[in-house]
Structure 1
């Protein structure tokens, strides 16, 4: 059964979907208010889907349960990666994609998006998905399980557009970690639309403007 979600449809019977994954400790309500700032009235109908991650104990939070796509076990976010948790959440994202397809939206009109841990899951699930997706929107994130991505990525998403935004003063996901992940994917042939902003671990108005322009290109591509 797919995860519970917050949803917003810009028009009845939407033709596109954006599945937006929140960061550690947040929930699906976190980015729902961004929809009015993003949507252009000229765009086709879009269903924005904001799922709630499962509640699980998080090691760096002293084991206290919180909404998380996977456990963070080390002080450095990429240390001691929770491979099992990441793979379980990849399955959860696959279920969300499948539900959109059941509702009439093909994979080629689904954008995966995410902030922080949600952005890490966007890369993890999106690059492994067996059907071509419309795009991957990655905010303040990095690529987990980087040592297996070359073998496990799906050919269907080798050329999928990727928008990647990152704050130069991010204290949670250091810019250097994001850059390392970006460079690895570029080495593998992926196209990255890379943007940096004078901010920390957050989303800024200039970044929202760039996301809006990028999404407009995706939605106008058909």
Structure 2
């Protein structure tokens, strides 16, 4: 996805022992006790990555990028990580997106949204394939509903027949959404 006026940073998840793979090393943002909404979050590994990714955000701020000109998001576990990072630590960015993602039922993110001092919170764009066999479409929908109930402005888009992957229509939707959140400086200064 290319933008003329936006720099895109793609951090890579580190290799770590991953419990759902019987402790084998996997490039994942955080550990999970199992791939399910019905278990506690592995907060120790989530906090570690919030700290590491927060440092990336702080580097951008030091480089002169204001938070209101940042969008943070990701695919699958990266989307869940983005929700933790934005809703708990960077509530004043322009937006957050989560593609084929979910949060655990008792996620600390829901409480963070309810207790947010920054209002309004960044808008959430969520997309999910209806045929996703790894992360249930229902889990994504339930995450969106719980975040909306907690006070977040969310939009959820289903993609019929799509498994745990991305498609062109989803990328086009994301691209136009990002351009609305981060218009070019000339459009921004013209009041659009």
TM-score bracket, normalised by the shorter chain, equals: 0.7 to 0.9
Q: State how far apart, in whole Å, the 1-side matches of 2:36 and 2:80 are.
A: 15
Q: Does 1:100 align with 2:57?
A: no
Aligned residue number for residue 47 of structure 1: 7
Aligned residue number for residue 68 of structure 1: 28
1:103: Cα distance to partner?
0.9
Q: Does 1:162 align with 2:124?
A: yes
Q: What CA deviation, in whole Å up to 9, does each residue of 1:150-185 have, x standing for no partner?
A: 443433264312111000111111011111111111
Aligned residue number for residue 24 of structure 1: none
User: By percentage of residues, which structure has more helix?
Assistant: 2
Q: Is the 8 A contact 1:124 1:143 kept in 2?
A: no
Aligned residue number for residue 206 of structure 1: 169
RMSD: 2.0
> Cα distance 1:73–1:212, how it changes in 2: closer, same or farther (>3 A)?
same
**Aligned with residue 152 of structure 1, among 86, 103, 112:** 112
Aligned residue number for residue 188 of structure 1: 150
Post-superposition, which runs of at least 4 consecutive aligned residues in structure 1 deviate over 6 A? none
User: By percentage of residues, which structure has more strand?
Assistant: 1
Q: State how far apart, in whole Å, the 2-side matches of 1:150 and 1:66 are.
A: 27
1:78: Cα distance to partner?
5.3
TM-score (norm 2): 0.86
Moved more, 113-122 or 85-94: 85-94
Q: Is the 8 A contact 1:107 1:131 kept in 2?
A: no
1:109: Cα distance to partner?
0.7
Q: State how far apart, in whole Å, the 1-side matches of 2:156 and 2:112 are.
A: 23
Q: State how far apart, in whole Å, the 1-side matches of 2:13 and 2:119 are.
A: 24
1:77: Cα distance to partner?
6.0
**Aligned with residue 113 of structure 1, among 68, 73, 76:** 73
Structure 1 unaligned residues grouped into runs of 5+ = 1-34
Q: State how far apart, in whole Å, the 1-side matches of 2:98 and 2:112 are.
A: 19
Count of residue pairs brought into register by the alignment: 182
Structure 2 unaligned residues grouped into runs of 5+ = none
Q: State how far apart, in whole Å, the 2-side matches of 1:120 and 1:78 are.
A: 15
Aligned residue number for residue 102 of structure 2: 142
1:80: Cα distance to partner?
4.3
